[in-house]
A and B are shown apart, each in its own frame.
Chain A
């Protein structure tokens, strides 16, 4: 059998079914008392990935990370890192380092001592430690700050010291717990790119826990969305956003319009859904795993809807509905319209402001038509 030629630059080993995962979680469960913090999670993460665990508070994402670091023991299941079973290995014997949300810098040590801490535990010679610390300070752009104590640093600088300390031992796997959570928005955006750059330069596998979907979308190679201790969906950022597998994922990531409907035509090549909420039929241009007369949900992102004053030429006698503009929020780059449909349902529509100060822009109380492409929305059965 001839294997498909794979591009050298293709850094998506999860698309290759023969690739061996670097971190392998199998049926991992963690109970605190009677509460399942993590329940039956199986997850494969590949070398050099930047994997984001995304979820709200209490979704179990931090517990999962703490089990990878070794601070918590799974109630059931196994954790394998680089082919070795790490389930019951204490944190100090794992080839894993963690960057803590609070940074957890040692307050009685200066920056150099903090970074050198892990290296000293390895019993490295003094000269080598000094060299490595200098290297790391350069990497995180903190040359000349070595003698300062954590108290003398700004939030952003502390964050970078924490990163340098976690990278010092050249771990195979770096765990980051809300790495940018404590930074302000502007600094966060800058640091985000630096983080990705460092990850790409060093080729370390990163697992990042975050509740910030924007952060996850821009950082991650893949995202695991967590809900109530379970993985709701694993996929590349575009998959998660464009092809959510459930109402939860669709609603959790970005904003979405969700309506209910009944399947009226179920063909291998298309599906037609009648939605009273929407006031029209939805024509979906691909097959969907559903049955006639099934009630299901249909979700569409605000930017996939188009607004117009004149009735657009709709195909298939579907995918066009009518409403009144109730609210407009101008955000600069885009404007968000809230359109009230006859059924009382409100839809969010975003329009890119391509023209400066457009005098002919659709405004409040105007009657408008809404339309969308036959594959713009997602049919969700769960």
Chain B
């Protein structure tokens, strides 16, 4: 194909890579294929293969020994046998613990996403509308926390919310009884919202900064008060940013382990903790693998739905 094309093309310019290209072409590989191959190989080796291994493990059962699960394939005197156990998946549905953990994770992730949206939207809006010289400083302030380790920041939060932490010491000055904040769902929400807020602000900002101010003026000119203008113009036009930000918060939040482990109490049931417990406390690798695969399904479906909604919206916008 590529050699055929060269007949019509003008004489090729001498290029550094032309030698390499010719050598590859001789083996039947074009430069274009090579470029696509790089990420494809990367994803295969570091994503698809491990995923397949995890999926394989999820179809075995726990046993004592090394590895701590039954083999998929057994070879007994030339008879190769494939043993697939579906118990792990069945248990996910029958055992109330898992169902509750999934639902609770989804609930916590959803509420956190809504809260980050409610806090992040006005922030992104103000940054997007701020004068140029302020914009970069404000954005920097949003990104600045990333310069500190995530773990440290979560520990710092517990320093604030502890029984004798900063907040309670402050309240004590006014004679207010100390509040119980640590080891509650509240602390988990605080942790997730605090940690993921930049992921909401940044895509919203990128969207809102492009918002054409004359559209808002046109809306006001046609008799819309500021609230109406926001609902009819700003909000629908920023939907792609809202969806992107929500995805970036919801997906990692649903599988969040560190924040519920450090800030949540025993009652904070999240799938990330269940997975950890299965893997390390119960050494039940197959069950943990099944939990992971199921979580992937739970997360992948909303991603696909949101992605599709976003594409549909973009198509509608650019349908011409």
- B212-233 near A? 1/0 per residue, CB < 8 Å: 1011011111111100100011
Q: Which of B214, B222, B319 is close to A152, meaning CB atoms less than 8 Å apart? A: B319
Cβ–Cβ contact B317 & A121, under 8 A: no
Q: How far is the CA of A105 from the CA of B219 in the complex (A)?
A: 10
B interface SS class: helix
Q: How far is the CA of A113 from the CA of B293 in the complex (A)?
A: 46
- B122 at the binding interface (Cβ < 8 Å): no
Which B264-319 residues have C-beta < 8 A from chain A? 316-319
B320: which A residues are within 8 A, CB to CB? 149, 151-152
Q: Given A108-B237, A151-B318, do A117 and B214 touch, yes or no (CB 8 Å)?
A: no
Whose C-beta in chain B lies nearest to the C-beta of A149? Answer: B319
Cβ–Cβ contact B217 & A71, under 8 A: yes
A side interface size, CB within 8 A: 27
Q: Given A121-B228, A151-B317, A151-B318, do A106 and B233 touch, yes or no (CB 8 Å)?
A: yes
**Cross-chain pair count, CB within 8 angstroms:** 70
- A97 at the binding interface (Cβ < 8 Å): yes
B221: which A residues are within 8 A, CB to CB? 69-71, 91-92, 96-98
Q: Which of B215, B225, B228 is close to A106, meaning CB atoms less than 8 Å apart? A: B215
Q: Given A102-B214, A121-B228, do A107 and B220 touch, yes or no (CB 8 Å)?
A: no
> In the complex, how many angstroms separate the beta carbon of A164 from the nearest chain B beta carbon?
12
Q: How far is the CA of A292 from the CA of B217 in the complex (A)?
A: 55
- B236 at the binding interface (Cβ < 8 Å): yes
B212: which A residues are within 8 A, CB to CB? 102, 104
Cβ–Cβ contact A118 & B319, under 8 A: no
> In the complex, how many angstroms separate the beta carbon of B167 from the nearest chain A beta carbon?
42
> In the complex, how many angstroms separate the beta carbon of A181 from the nearest chain B beta carbon?
14
Q: How far is the CA of A102 from the CA of B213 in the complex (A)?
A: 11
B222: which A residues are within 8 A, CB to CB? 92, 97, 117-118, 121, 165, 168-169
Interface size classification for chain B: 20 to 34
Which A60-102 residues have C-beta < 8 A from chain B? 69-71, 90-93, 96-98, 100, 102
Whose C-beta in chain B lies nearest to the C-beta of A94? Answer: B221
Which A299-322 residues have C-beta < 8 A from chain B? none
- A122 at the binding interface (Cβ < 8 Å): yes
Cβ–Cβ contact A100 & B214, under 8 A: yes
Q: How far is the CA of A356 from the CA of B307 in the complex (A)?
A: 68
> In the complex, how many angstroms separate the beta carbon of B227 from the nearest chain A beta carbon?
11
Q: Which of B224, B316, B318, B319 is close to A121, meaning CB atoms less than 8 Å apart? A: B224
Cβ–Cβ contact B223 & A98, under 8 A: no
Cβ–Cβ contact B236 & A108, under 8 A: yes
- A195-219 near B? 1/0 per residue, CB < 8 Å: 0000000000000000000000000
Q: How far is the CA of A106 from the CA of B214 in the complex (A)?
A: 10
A106: which B residues are within 8 A, CB to CB? 215, 218-219, 233
B232: which A residues are within 8 A, CB to CB? 117
Which A161-179 residues have C-beta < 8 A from chain B? 165, 168-169
Cβ–Cβ contact B215 & A104, under 8 A: yes
A70: which B residues are within 8 A, CB to CB? 220-221
Whose C-beta in chain A lies nearest to the C-beta of B313? Answer: A108
Q: Given A106-B215, A149-B317, A149-B319, do A121 and B223 touch, yes or no (CB 8 Å)?
A: yes
> In the complex, how many angstroms separate the beta carbon of A241 from the nearest chain B beta carbon?
33
B233: which A residues are within 8 A, CB to CB? 106
Cβ–Cβ contact B318 & A91, under 8 A: no
B236: which A residues are within 8 A, CB to CB? 108
B217: which A residues are within 8 A, CB to CB? 69, 71, 91, 98, 100, 104
> In the complex, how many angstroms separate the beta carbon of A14 from the nearest chain B beta carbon?
27
Q: Which of A104, A149, A168, A169 is close to B218, meaning CB atoms less than 8 Å apart? A: A104
Q: Which of A90, A117, A152, A169 is close to B219, meaning CB atoms less than 8 Å apart? A: A117
> In the complex, how many angstroms separate the beta carbon of B133 from the nearest chain A beta carbon?
14
Q: How far is the CA of A294 from the CA of B214 in the complex (A)?
A: 51
Q: Given A149-B317, A151-B318, A152-B320, do A104 and B224 touch, yes or no (CB 8 Å)?
A: no
Q: How far is the CA of A259 from the CA of B63 in the complex (A)?
A: 107
Q: How far is the CA of A122 from the CA of B218 in the complex (A)?
A: 15
Q: How far is the CA of A149 from the CA of B237 in the complex (A)?
A: 14
Q: How far is the CA of A105 from the CA of B215 in the complex (A)?
A: 7
Whose C-beta in chain B lies nearest to the C-beta of A152? Answer: B320
Cβ–Cβ contact A91 & B220, under 8 A: yes
Cβ–Cβ contact B319 & A98, under 8 A: no
> In the complex, how many angstroms separate the beta carbon of A176 from the nearest chain B beta carbon?
12
Q: How far is the CA of A91 from the CA of B212 in the complex (A)?
A: 17
> In the complex, how many angstroms separate the beta carbon of A277 from the nearest chain B beta carbon?
48
Q: Which of B214, B220, B316, B319 is close to A92, meaning CB atoms less than 8 Å apart? A: B220
Cβ–Cβ contact B218 & A100, under 8 A: yes
Whose C-beta in chain A lies nearest to the C-beta of B224? Answer: A121
B225: which A residues are within 8 A, CB to CB? 92
A169: which B residues are within 8 A, CB to CB? 222-223
Interface centre among B215, B218, B236, B316 (most CB of A within 10 A): B218
A71-B220, A104-B212 provided; 14 other pairs, C-beta below 8 A?
Answer: A69-B217, A70-B221, A92-B221, A97-B222, A98-B221, A100-B214, A100-B217, A106-B219, A106-B233, A117-B232, A121-B223, A122-B223, A149-B320, A152-B320
Q: A residues near B, CB below 8 A? A: 69-71, 90-93, 96-98, 100, 102, 104-108, 117-118, 121-122, 149, 151-152, 165, 168-169
The list of the 4 closest CB pairs from A to B, nearest first, reads A118-B222, A121-B223, A104-B218, A104-B214
Q: List 11 A-B contacts (CB under 8 A).
A: A70-B221, A71-B220, A91-B217, A91-B220, A92-B222, A97-B222, A98-B217, A98-B218, A100-B214, A122-B223, A169-B223
